[in-house]
Every structure is written in C-alpha cells, then in structure tokens.
Chains A and B, each alone.
Chain A
Amino acid sequence: MKLKQLSVFLENKPGRLRELCAVLAENGINIITLSLADTEQFGILRLIVKKHDQAKELLEKNGFVAKLTDVVAVEVMDEPGGLSSILKIEEESGISVEYMYAFTIKSGEKAVLLFRFDDMDKAVDALQKAGLNILGSVELYQRAEG
C-alpha cells in the first residue's frame, strides 16, 4: 500500500515556497502535509495532497519541476519508540530509508510517519508482516481531515 507524494525542486530564493503554496491554494488544493529538505544550493519540497495529478500539472504549468514518487505512510502512537521499532524492522530486512518525515493527526494521540525506502515493495511487505498499520490514501485523507 503505497501513496503518491509530490516532490518539487526549489531554488533557494526567497518567496518561491510561498508562490508554490499560493498556486495550490488558488486552485483549491489542500496540502495535507509537507516537508522541505534543503541544502545551501537548493531545496526539495515533498508534499502530500489529495489531487496529486492535478497538482503536478498545475505546478508544471507554473514553471516548477515536479515529480510523483511512492512513499509509505505508517500510523503509530505518538509516543517514544514508535519510530525506532519501524527502523528496526527495516534494518532486519536489509532495507534502508532514503528519507522520512512525520506529522501528527488531528485527534492528537497518533502520528503518521512517511517513508521513502530504497526498496519500497519489500519494505511494505516487512511492515505488514510485523502487523503495523499502513495507511492507504483514503484512510490518510480521512485522518488528516479529522
């Protein structure tokens, strides 16, 4: 069970992130969560949105380079140890994490961790076998909207 994530290349210039958010907002696209990985030179913005195909098209039309990638969303209790147990499972299966980020959902008790692994299929398998709660897109959007 994988999710589509939208990744966008950003130059480190003031105002670009705001412009991007404005493009999405003007077209009624709600950002469920986002994470920015940045270096001195550039940034990569990763977004989870409901209408990812439409969002990608919109951003491209507005001069951004955007790409859809698969990520996996795992729901855990928002308490210490939640992340490390997942990392342990993946480590034992010989899978490495390319990047991850997290957000807490509205009810407050639980958190959603988003992962990009080097081998996505194998990773999903291992997580499922370990009985973790992997969220599909519908469930994720429901949680996000409370």
Chain B
Amino acid sequence: MHAQWNDRESLVHPTSAPDYMREEQLRTLQLQRLRAITKHTYDNQQLFRERMDERGVKPEDIQSLEDIRKLPFTRKTDLRDTYPYGLFAVPMNEVVRLHASSGTTGKPIVVAYTKEDIEVWNEVMVRTFACAGLHSGDIIQNAYGYGLFTGGLGAHYGAEALGATVIPISGGNSERQIMVMRDFGTTAICATPSYFLHLIEYAEKMGIDWDEIPLRVGVFGAEPWSDEMREYIEGKTGIKAYDIYGLSEIIGPGVGMACEKQQGLHIFEDHFMIEIVHPVTDQPMPDGEEGELIITTLSKKAMPVMRYRTHDITSIIAEPCECGRTIRRINRIARRSDDMFIIRGVNIFPSQIEAALLRIEQTLPHYQIVLTRDGGMDQMEVQVEVTAKTFSDTVRGVEAVHRQLSDAIAHILGIRVKLTLVEPNTIERSMGKAKRVLDQRS
C-alpha cells in the first residue's frame, strides 16, 4: 500500500503544495515576504516604527533571514496597551473581520483580518486538516467555541474550504455532542483536549461504546497537552489524535499541525516564520534546543505581528519528516513559560504532574495543583480524584495507590510534594481550557 514517489502528487491536497516546497525555494520565499511585511508594518504600525527608529533599524536592513534578529519583539502587553485598534496596519474599510481573545485579567486583545488574510487563514486550515488525512467527504464536528474566539470560525471555514461537511455544534452540551457524533456519523472532531476527555467520561456514563461512533480523527489544541494524554485518548476511543497549534495573536488555529507520523508539529513556514530564543536572555537557541517560540506573521496585512513572544516552550526539529513535508517541525508544546512555578527552587510545569499521573493510572484522572504559602515558603499540593478503578476497599489498597502516585511525581520532579486523594467531582470541570493550577499564594 506504499505510494510510489511519483504518485505522491496525486495524494497531496493541491492547497498543501507549499508543505512540500524545496528548502531553498521556501527560504527565498520567506525572505521575500519578510522584507515586504517589515516594510508594510514599518509604514503602517506606529508602535513598530517607533521601536525600529529607536534602534536605528530600517526595513532595508533586512537582507537575510538572520537579520530578523534586528527587529524588536512584540509582546502580549503591546496588544493590550494598544487596545482595541492600535496595531491595525490597514484602513478600517479593508478589515472584514475582528476576533478577540479574553485576557484572563483586564482588557481583551483584538485581532483583525483583511479579505486576503482570511484566505490565508483558510489555506493554512486546509493544510492543517490535510495533515490529519482529512478530505472532502469527511464530517467534521467543530466543538470549538464559536464567537469572538478564533477557534470556532477558523476551523469552520477551513473545513468548508477543504470541502468537508461541517457540523457547527460549538462547545458545551456534552450529551448532544455525543448523540450528534453517533447519529450524524462524525468522522473528525475539533475540540480542546480537556473537553474531549470530558466527552470520553460522559460517553462512558451514557453507556456509549466508541465502536458505535465512526470518529477516526481528533484535532485537539488551544491548550498544552501531553503525548501521554494523546496515547490515552487514542487507546480509549480508537481515533488518531492530532495536535494543532495556533494563537489568536498570530492568526488563530492553523499555525502548525502534527502529521500522521506524530513526531512534532509542522509549522506553515511560508506564512509564519519561527525562531527559538532563550526566554530570559533572548539569545537565539540552536535547532533541537528548547526555548521560547517566536513567531512572525509573513503574510498577514490587517494586523501583522513581528517577532511575537508566544511564551510557549519548544524546540525546532530540523531533520526532515518521514511524511515528505519539507516545512520544519517544532516539538509538542507541553509547557508555557508563564505556566511554570517554582517550589523549593525547582521549576515545575503542570504537564510534568500530568505525565506522572498518566504513567500510574493509564487514564488521566481529574487533578489540580494547589499552591499555598506557609510561613514564607511556597507549598504545592496535588489533589487527585479517586476513581472506581483506583479505589479498592482496603486501606492498604488505597494507600498503595497514594504511594505510587506520590512516588511517580517525586521521580519526575525530583522533590516530594503533598498528594491528596479526593472524592470524585470535587475538582472543577472545564468546558474550554483546563485550569490545572489553583494559586492561593498572596
């Protein structure tokens, strides 16, 4: 069943052609676009122009891709400080759509698209779905929230552009999600991984067997998740779970996507230029080494974002992918530099706790990390819900589970933290993004 090399073209969705571009051609295209977008942004975005002038840098100074390092960073605070329209680089009559992301504190950030920007977005979403082997004929249930959030409409129009059938169900109403999945013959679902975990739990409660549902692909993103969680979802439901990457600030979903090889995520480099820098010193990191992902939008006109600090921690995989795509990959983003907290001098990410719990329970239990301050010392407690599977009716049995979980966490973190087994449903459930850390310090 192996496709011949010269047959490959016929297997590739025509929109996906840039995924297979020759490397030097791709770099040439990137440089061309980088120079154009630098000029466009300099001419039309006041904040960028001021910062360039401060540094004495002119758009013409961009002669090679490495010259991108001469450009100033854009930070999330810049988007907030210029709320709502301060970073728009086209007249309002060219803006055809606005989205906004809810900041956890204070003002939201607003992003804008021209007609051409929307076309670029649709294109990268078609290429995203093609990475997951989806095509016309697939029925895609879009459980991302519709509205100001980019996830809903981004996936929606991308799926339509692909030629697939879209079910615009939006998030929430788990019972209906499962009923629709079964009755409409859904073959792919877009959701946050934590919401899909919730659906798995719900289907179990409803007594629905995953064999009754023709679902074969899950496109999961909008929050960091782990390979262990992917294996769990795949084992439980028999679907293939793909990691999608995107940020509203950049375009929405469709910045990057895992392919069937499941070895990192391809970045659609002809539209998004990536760098990795040290999160503290800002020094560029070599391929393969971890640091903060920096993204520059190469094609977006309404609101170009130059060297955006994503806070996402990853590394670039320079080696070519077995799938044949030539666009480079980044490793799965399981951590954000701002999710990190420090306990007894050790850097800790929620994803590490998750990996430890999955290793022991094989399924991801509901858990929460509670941070408190006790006499000037930060303390961390992991609360894990007991499940029918982990509950045995002897004290010794429950204590053994407690010890196993506690040991696995200590093994990964290198320090021992408090672990408490709690009753089911005592940890708040999430419909959208998972909230794993309850910070009670202060």
- Chain A contact residues, CB within 8 Å of chain B: 5, 7, 9-11, 16, 37, 39, 41-42, 44, 46, 63-67, 69, 98-99, 116
Contacts and interface: CB of A to CB of B under 8 A. Distances in A.
B421 A44 contact: no
23 contacts: A7-B391, A7-B393, A9-B386, A9-B398, A10-B423, A11-B421, A11-B426, A39-B399, A42-B398, A44-B395, A46-B393, A63-B425, A63-B426, A65-B387, A65-B423, A65-B424, A66-B388, A67-B391, A67-B393, A98-B396, A99-B395, A116-B393, A116-B394
Interface in B380-397: 386-388, 391-396
A65 B402 contact: no
Interface residues on B, range: 10 to 19
Contacts of A11: 421-423, 426
A98 B398 CA distance: 13
Interface in B401-442: 402, 420-426
The interface centre, meaning the residue of A9, A42, A99 with most chain B CB atoms within 10 A of its CB, is A9
A42 B386 CA distance: 11
B327 to A, nearest CB: 47
A25 B424 CA distance: 21
Nearest to B205: A60
Nearest to B402: A41
Nearest to B423: A11
Interface of B: 386-388, 391-396, 398-399, 402, 420-426
A9 B391 contact: yes
A12 B119 CA distance: 57
B406 to A, nearest CB: 11
Given A11-B422, A41-B421, A65 B388 contact: yes
A25 to B, nearest CB: 19
Contacts of B425: 63
A5 B422 CA distance: 22
B242 to A, nearest CB: 33
B390 to A, nearest CB: 8
Nearest to B393: A7
A5 B399 CA distance: 20
Contact of B394 (A16, A42, A64, A99): A99
Contacts of B395: 37, 39, 44, 99
Contacts of A66: 388
A116 B420 CA distance: 26
Contacts of B396: 98
A63 B423 contact: yes
B393 A44 contact: yes
B388 A67 contact: yes
A84 B47 CA distance: 86
A69 B426 CA distance: 25
Contacts of A99: 394-395
B424 A44 contact: no
The 5 nearest A-B residue pairs measured at CB: A7-B393, A63-B425, A65-B391, A9-B386, A69-B393
A64 B424 contact: yes
The interface centre, meaning the residue of A11, A16, A42, A98 with most chain B CB atoms within 10 A of its CB, is A42
Contacts of A42: 398, 421
Contacts of A16: 423
B122 to A, nearest CB: 44
A16 B422 CA distance: 12
A34 B289 CA distance: 59
B420 A41 contact: yes
Given A11-B426, A65-B388, A99-B395, 18 more contacts: A5-B393, A7-B393, A9-B421, A9-B423, A11-B421, A16-B423, A39-B399, A41-B420, A44-B394, A44-B395, A63-B424, A63-B425, A65-B423, A67-B388, A67-B391, A67-B393, A69-B393, A116-B393
